[in-house]
C-alpha cells in the first residue's frame, strides 16, 4: 500500500504543492513523510477577516490541500488525488503570526483515502490547535483527470 | 427573527463582505436578501490547482464567507457571525471563467444559525453546481469578539 | 444515468429497505421515485433520549438509510450502495408522534453518489424540519461486497 | 473547566447513558474519565444491514451518544448536552461480534464542546477502527431544555 519516498519524489511533492492558488496564498511545505504532510504560512493582512482574525477559508484551504498531499505520498506516480468532501471545525479564533498544518492519512482504501488535518495558530509565546478537519479523498489514474466530467 | 434591510445596512453588508482575504481572492457581492446572499468571482491563474482546475479551497472559502453574510442579514447591527464548522461536497470539477455562490439560511436558532451554500461553475455555454455545503454559524454580541479566547 | 423503476424493482426496494436494524427500529417506506426515497416511523418510548426527545441516532439512521435507497433507485440490479460518510445538522428538538424522511440524490458520478436527507417531526398540528444531512455514497458491484476488506 | 467525577456522578452517568433508544439498541458503558467515555455493544441480527454488515446507523448512534457523555463528564450537574451536528466517516466494513466506541473531548468552549469518536469492530482475532467522527455539542442549562423550540 505504501510507496518509497525517493529524493526525486520528495522534491516533486514539495514543488507540486506550491502552485496556483496555494502559491498565491503563500503556503509552504515544512515536512513530508509517508502518509503525513506538514505546511506553514506566514500571516499578513491579506489573510485576515473583517474582524482581524485569520480567515476560516484560509485555514480550510490549508487543511484540504495539505491532506491531499499526505495522501499523495502513498500512491504511484501516475495517480492523482481529488477531494470528494471535507468537514472542518473551528475550535478557537486564530490571530497569530503564522499557521502550521499537520495532515495524516487515517485510512487508505482501494479508491477512497481518509485524512485528518490539524491547524495550529503560532502566537508570540505558544501554539494552539485552532481547527480539526476530516477530508475524504479519491485516488484516480492521471489520465481520468483529463476527462472533465467524471 | 428577521430584520429590515435598510439601504444603509445593504451598503454596509456589501462593503464589509469584501475585505482582507476575501478582497485578496477577488470575491464580489451580486445579490443580498434577508437570509440569502450571492457572490461571484472571475477566475484567473491564481485560483487554480496544479491540475488546472479551480482550487477546492477557493470554493470552500466562497461557500463559508457567503453563508456567514446570509446569516449576517438576519441579526441586529451589534451582532457578529462566526463559523463553528462547515462541511462541503465537491460534486464536479470546476474549470469555468467564473464562480457564483448562493447561500441561504435554513434554520435560525437563538445562538446557532445553519446555512447552505451552492457554488456554480460558470462555463462558456452553461452553469453547473460544483459544490454543496452546510455551514454552522454562531451569532455573538460584538463585544464578545474582543476577548480572543472564547 | 437513470434506470426504469419496474413494479418488480419497486417491490424489491420496498422489501429490501426494511430488514435487520431498520426493521428492528420500525422504519417504513412511504414513497419511491427515481433518485428519491421517503420513509416514516411511528415514535414510541424506545426511540427517545433520557430527556424525552427523539434520539439523534434514530434521526441519523433514518437519514443515512433512506439516502442509500434514493441512490439505490438509480443503479443496475447488480450494484450495491455503501455509505462513505455523512454529516447531519440537528435543527430543532424532535418530540412528535412520527418522523418522515425525504432523501434526494443531488449528484451521480461514476462511483460516488451524493444525496441529501431532510427529516420532519410530525407533531399534533404541524410538521417541522428537524434535521438536514448530506450523505456521500459509493456504488459498488455486488461481488465486491463479498470481499470484506475493501 | 473540568469537574471532579465523584462516585455518585460516575454512577449517574453510567445509568443515565443507558436509557430509551440506547437501552433498546443494547449499548453499555465500559469506561468513564473526565473528557472521555467508552461504550460497547454485543452484535446480533437486529444490528445488521440487508448485506449482513453492522448498520452504519448503529455505528453513528454509538458515536454520537458516547461523545455526548464524554462532554457530560465536564459540565456541572444542572447542564445538559445537545448534539448540534456530527460528521462520520465509515472506514471499513464492520462484521464482528461486538463494537467498542471511544470518545474524547478535543475542545471545550463556553457553549460549544467538540468531541471525536472512534468505533472499533471487535472480530475473532483482532480489532479494527471502522469509523471516525467529529461531534459538535452544545452545553445548555437544564431549564432551557424544557422550552421545546430553542
Give pLDDT tens digits for A80-121.
Answer: 999 999 999 999 999 999 999 999 999 999 999 999 999 999
- In this structure, are residues D62 and D51 in contact, taking their beta carbons and an 8 Å threshold? no
Cα–Cα distance between C54 and C99 in angstroms, integer? 9
| B2 assigned to some structural domain | no
D119/D4: higher pLDDT? D119
Residue A102 pairs in a beta bridge with A38, A118
| D106 assigned to some structural domain | yes
Instruction: State the pLDDT at residue A1.
Output: 47
| D87 assigned to some structural domain | yes
Quickly count: other Cβ atoms within 10 Å of residue C6's Cβ. Answer: 9
Q: Is B92 on the interface with C (CB under 8 A)?
A: yes
| Residues listed for chain A | 150
Q: Is the pLDDT of residue B150 over 50?
A: no
Q: Which of A109, A119, A26 is nearest to A67 (CA)?
A: A119
Dig out the grid coordinates for A128 from the structure.
494552539
What mean pLDDT comes out for the span B48-58? Answer: 93
Q: Compare CB distances from A85 to C111, C136, C150 and report the shortest one's residue.
A: C136
A30: left (phi over 0), alpha (psi -120 to 50) or beta: alpha
As for how many domains chain C has, the answer is 1
Q: Is A141 on the interface with C (CB under 8 A)?
A: no
pLDDT band at D1 (very low <50, low <70, confident <90, very high): very low
CA C47, D64, A71, B135 torsion-angle sign: positive
How far off is chain C from B116, nearest CA to CA, in Å?
A: 10
- Write out chain D residues lying below 8 Å of B85, CB-based: 85, 134, 136
D56: left (phi over 0), alpha (psi -120 to 50) or beta: alpha
**Residue to substitute from B82, B109, B112, B149, interface D, most D β-carbons within 10 A:** B112
- Write out chain B residues lying below 8 Å of A145, CB-based: 51
**Residue to substitute from B91, B115, B136, interface C, most C β-carbons within 10 A:** B91
| D123 assigned to some structural domain | yes
Report the b/e string of A3-22 with b at 16+ CB within 10 A.
eebeeeeeeebeeebbbbbb
DSSP one-letter code for A16 = H
DSSP one-letter code for D47 = G
Which range among C123-132, D37-46, D140-149 shows the weakest confidence by mean pLDDT? D140-149
Instruction: State the pLDDT at residue C150.
Output: 43
Cα–Cα distance between A85 and D114 in angstroms, integer? 20
Q: Is C118 on the interface with B (CB under 8 A)?
A: no
Cα–Cα distance between C44 and C27 in angstroms, integer? 12
Q: What is the pLDDT of residues D50-73, one digit of tens each?
A: 889 999 999 999 999 999 999 999
Q: Is the pLDDT of residue D133 over 90?
A: yes
Q: Is D67 helix (H, G, I), strand (E, B) or coil?
A: helix
Cα–Cα distance between C132 and C118 in angstroms, integer? 5
Q: Which of D93, D81, D87, D94 is nearest to D37 (CA)?
A: D81
Report the b/e string of B14-34 with b at 16+ CB within 10 A.
eeebbbbbbebbebebeebee
| A2 assigned to some structural domain | no
| C104 assigned to some structural domain | yes
DSSP one-letter code for C50 = T
Q: What is the pLDDT of residues C78-123, one digit of tens each?
A: 999 999 999 999 999 999 999 999 999 999 999 999 999 999 999 9
Cβ–Cβ below 8 Å for C136 and A111: no
Q: What is the pLDDT of residues A60-86, one digit of tens each?
A: 999 999 999 999 999 999 999 999 999
| C1 assigned to some structural domain | no
Cβ–Cβ below 8 Å for B150 and D85: no
- In this structure, are residues D47 and D54 in contact, taking their beta carbons and an 8 Å threshold? yes
Q: Which residue has the cell 462520520?
A: D88
B8/A2: higher pLDDT? B8
Q: Compare CB distances from B90 to A55, A84, A90 and report the shortest one's residue.
A: A84
Cα–Cα distance between C145 and C148 in angstroms, integer? 7
DSSP one-letter code for C34 = T
DSSP one-letter code for A124 = S
- Write out chain A residues lying below 8 Å of C150, CB-based: 109-110
pLDDT band at C51 (very low <50, low <70, confident <90, very high): confident
* Residue pairs between chains B and D whose CB atoms are closer than 8 Å: 21
**Residue to substitute from A16, A29, A55, A66, interface B, most B β-carbons within 10 A:** A55
**What mean pLDDT is reported for chain B?**
94
Instruction: State which residues form the domain around C130.
Output: 7-146
Q: Is A11 on the interface with B (CB under 8 A)?
A: no
Q: Is B106 on the interface with C (CB under 8 A)?
A: yes
Portion 60-89 of A in contact with C at CB < 8 A = 84-85, 87
Dig out the grid coordinates for D96 from the structure.
464482528
Q: What is the pLDDT of residues B107-139, one digit of tens each?
A: 999 999 999 999 999 999 999 999 999 999 999
Cα–Cα distance between A93 and C11 in angstroms, integer? 53
- Say what angle helices C56-72 and D56-72 make with each other, to 10 degrees: 150
Q: A58: domain CATH number?
A: 3.10.129.10
Dig out the grid coordinates for C80 from the structure.
450495491
Residue C130 pairs in a beta bridge with none
Kindly list the partner chains of chain B, i.e. chains with 3 or more CB atom pairs below 8 Å: A, C, D
Instruction: State the pLDDT at residue C121.
Output: 98
Largest distance between two CA atoms of chain C = 49
Q: Is the pLDDT of residue A12 over 50?
A: yes
pLDDT band at B143 (very low <50, low <70, confident <90, very high): confident
Instruction: State the pLDDT at residue B49.
Output: 92
- Write out chain D residues lying below 8 Å of A87, CB-based: 87, 134
Cα–Cα distance between D7 and B17 in angstroms, integer? 52
For D114, residues 6+ apart whose C-beta sits below 8 A from its C-beta are A89, A91, A132, D105, D106, D107, D134, D135, D136, D137
- In this structure, are residues C91 and D144 in contact, taking their beta carbons and an 8 Å threshold? no
Number of Cα atoms under 13 Å in the Cβ half of residue A56 = 31
Interface confidence (ipTM) of the complex = 0.95
Cα–Cα distance between B42 and B28 in angstroms, integer? 9
| A105 assigned to some structural domain | yes
Instruction: State the pLDDT at residue C1.
Output: 47
Amino acid at each position: 500500500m505504501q510507496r518509497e519516498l525517493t529524493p526525486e519524489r520528495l522534491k516533486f511533492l514539495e514543488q507540486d504543492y506550491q502552485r496556483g492558488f496555494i502559491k498565491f496564498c503563500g503556503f509552504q511545505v515544512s515536512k513530508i513523510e509517508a502518509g503525513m504532510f506538514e505546511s506553514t504560512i506566514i500571516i499578513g493582512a491579506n489573510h485576515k477577516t473583517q474582524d482581524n482574525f485569520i480567515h476560516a477559508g484560509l485555514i480550510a484551504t490549508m487543511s484540504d490541500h495539505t491532506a491531499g498531499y499526505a495522501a499523495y505520498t502513498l500512491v504511484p506516480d501516475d495517480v492523482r488525488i481529488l477531494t470528494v468532501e471535507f468537514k472542518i471545525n473551528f475550535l478557537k479564533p486564530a490571530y497569530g503570526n503564522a499557521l502550521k498544518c499537520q495532515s495524516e492519512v487515517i485510512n487508505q482504501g482501494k479508491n477512497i483515502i481518509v485524512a485528518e488535518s490539524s491547524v495550529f495558530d503560532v502566537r508570540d509565546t505558544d501554539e494552539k490547535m485552532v481547527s480539526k478537519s476530516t477530508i475524504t479523498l479519491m485516488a484516480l489514474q492521471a489520465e481520468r483527470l483529463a476527462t472533465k466530467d467524471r
